[in-house]
Amino acid sequence: MKIIVVGTGYVGLVHAAVCSEYGHEVHAFDIDSEKIEAFSGGRAEAIEEFVNEPGLANIIKETLGKSLFFSDDLEAIIEGTDAIFMCLPTPSNIDGSTNLTFYNAAAETIAEVLANRNDKRRVVLVNKSTVPIGTVRHFQKIMNAHGVDNYGVASNPEFLAEGSAVVDARKPDRVVVGCDYDEDFKILGRVYSQFVNHVRIKYIETTPETAEAIKYVANTMLLTYISFWNGVGAKIGEKIPNVKIDDLRLGVTADERISTWGSFVSNGAGGSCFGKDIASLINQLRRVNVSTKMLEASFEVNEYQKVYLVDRAITEAGFKFNNETVAVLGLAFKKHTNDMRDASSIKVIETLLGKGVAKIHAYDPLANETAKQVFDPSKNILFEKIRYFKSAKEAIAGTQALFISSDCEEFRGFSRTIEDTVKPPYLVMDGRRMIPDFEELVAKNYTYLAVGSMVMKPKQGEAEISEGELKFVAV
C-alpha cells in the first residue's frame, strides 16, 4: 500500500517508521523542513533531537530510501496514494476546547492537492490525531468544498505511550478503525493486515464517531484512575498514621479487576495528551449538557498534585524556599523521553521560582536541551535562575533541597549519592517514591517527604514520623 503520513511528530514518525517495516511504501510529510532534513539524513542523533524514542532511529536507518521517504512537498508524492494519516497536533484552547488550527491547515492543503491529482483511485483520509467527536464530518466538509472525489474518511486513534512508542506501535492492545464504507475498512485492513485476526490484538471496526470517542474515554479513564490514587490513596498514607501506601496499593491491586498501572502515586501525570484530552472532553460534554463534575475533579486533582509537595515542604517540613538552592531532577514528563509537554517539572520549577528560590539546579538524562527552550529567559526573567547539569550528582551539589519529579531509573538508588554529596539539614522531596531506602537517609538526619507518606524528619539522629507538628528539625 502507498501511505502518506502528515505530521512527523511522536505519533506520525513512529507510525511512518513502523508501517515502513511492514513493507508499505510510506511517505512522511511535514511542513517543518528542518525535521524533514534531519529525518532524511537518517542519523540517530539528528532524529532524536526531535523525537527520542527507543528503537525508532534504527528502524528509520533500516528502511530509509527503501520503503520510507520524507518530503515537504505533498504534491510530489500524492499520486497513487491509498491512505493519508493525519498526525497533527491538537492542543488546547484557553477554554479547554481543542484547537484545530494545525489540523485544519493540513486538511486544506490535502484537499487542494487531492482535488488536482491525476490518479482517481480510492483514498482514505485517516485521523490519527485525537480530535473532538464528530470532527470526521468537518474533515469531509473540507474535502467536499474542494471537490475531492473518490475518498473516504476514517478515524483510527493512536494509543501509543511515549517512551515505549515503537513497542506499542508494533504490538498495540488494539487497533480501532472507524469508517463509513466497507471499501474503506478494506483499505485499512490491508494497511494493518498484520493486526487483523491477530490472536492477541483486538482489531475493532466501528463508526468514525465511536472510534473518536474511544480515544477520549480511554485517556480520561486513565487519568481518572491516576487521580483516584493520588487524590485518595496517597492522601490516606499522608494523613493517617501507620498506613503504608505501598502495602495499601499491593492489597488493593491484588484484586484482578483493579489495575496496577496507575496505582503508583506520584506528583501528577503530565505529557502531551492527558491534560488536553480531559479538558477537551469536559468542553465537548458541556456543549451537550452532560455533567462533567467527575472529569473536572480528576483534572483538578492532577494539576494540584504536580506542586503540592512544595506546599507540604513548607507546612509539614517547615522548609523555607526563599533564597535557597533547590535541585529538580527529572524534567521530562516521564523516563525514556525528552518530551516536556505538560511535564510536572514545569509547574514545580515555576512554583519554586514563585517562592523566591535563589537558584534551581536542573537535570534530566534526555531533556536538558528541551528544558532550555521551555524555560526560555526571554519569556520570563526568572528562568535565568535555572542552571543545567550533566548528572544528578552534579545537580544536587550545593543545594539545600531536591525534588524528584520523574521516574528515571537512575534516581532509584540515589540515597548513597545524596549522602556523599550534600549534608543535612537537607530536604528530599520525592514525587515518585524513587528512594526505597529512605529510612536510612532519615536516620542520617535528612528530611524525607514523599507523595503517599507522612513527612519523615530526623530527631537527634533517629528517624521520627511526624504527626503534623510541622517543624523542620535541624540537628
Enumerate the active-site residues: 273
Q: Which stretch binds ligand NAD (CB under 6 A): 127-135, 203-211, 294-302, 377-385?
A: 127-135
The one segment of 53-61, 112-120, 122-130, 427-435 that binds ligand NAD by CB under 6 A: 122-130
Q: Which of 2, 21, 22, 31 binds ligand NAD (CB under 6 A)?
A: 31
The least distance separating ligand NAD from the CB of residue 123, rounded to whole angstroms, comes to 17
CA distance 344 to 329: 11
- Say how far apart CA 407 and CA 336 lie, in whole Å: 9
Q: For residue 338, state whether it binds ligand NAD (rule: CB under 6 A).
A: no
Locate 138 and state its grid cell.
468537518
Q: What is the Cα–Cα distance from 460 to 467, expressed in whole angstroms?
A: 17
Q: Does 114 bind ligand NAD (CB under 6 A)?
A: no
In the range 420-459, which residues lie near ligand NAD by CB under 6 A? none
For residue 129, state whether it binds ligand NAD (rule: CB under 6 A).
yes
Which of 35, 249, 312, 347 contacts ligand NAD by CB under 6 A? Answer: 35
Residue among 1, 3, 4, 19 at smallest CA distance from 56? 19
Which of 25, 53, 82, 162 touches ligand NAD (CB under 6 A)?
A: 162
399: burial class by Cβ within 10 Å (0-12, 13-18, 19+)?
Answer: buried
| Residue 32 binds to ligand NAD (criterion: CB under 6 A) | yes
Q: Report if residue 48 touches ligand NAD, rule: CB under 6 A.
A: no
How many residues bind ligand NAD (CB under 6 A)? The answer is 27
Q: Which is nearer to ligand NAD, 88 or 455 (CB)?
A: 88
Using CA atoms, how far apart are residues 367 and 283, in angstroms rounded to an integer? 32
Q: Is 64 helix (H, G, I), strand (E, B) or coil?
A: strand
Told to check if 8 binds ligand NAD by CB under 6 A, we report yes
* Dihedral angle, C-alpha 404, 410, 415, 421, nearest 10 °: -90
Angle between helices 274-287 and 208-228 (to 10 degrees): 120
Nearest-CB residue for ligand NAD: 9
Report the nearest approach of ligand NAD to the CB of residue 105 (Å).
4
* Region from 24-32, 41-49, 142-150, 376-384 binding ligand NAD, contact rule CB under 6 A: 24-32
Residue 201, Cβ density class (10 Å: 0-12 exposed, 13-18 middle, ≥19 buried): middle
Residue 83, SS3 per DSSP: strand
Q: Give least dist CB 56 to ligand NAD, A.
A: 12
Beta strands across the sheet bearing 359-363: 386-388, 359-363, 325-329, 401-404, 427-430, 447-450, 456-459, 462-465
Of 4-12, 57-65, 175-183, 204-212: span binding ligand NAD (CB under 6 A): 4-12
SS3 230: helix
Site membership for ligand NAD, residue 270 (CB under 6 A): no
Interface ranges with ligand NAD (CB under 6 A): 6-12, 29-32, 35, 87-90, 102, 105-106, 128-130, 158, 160, 162, 272-273
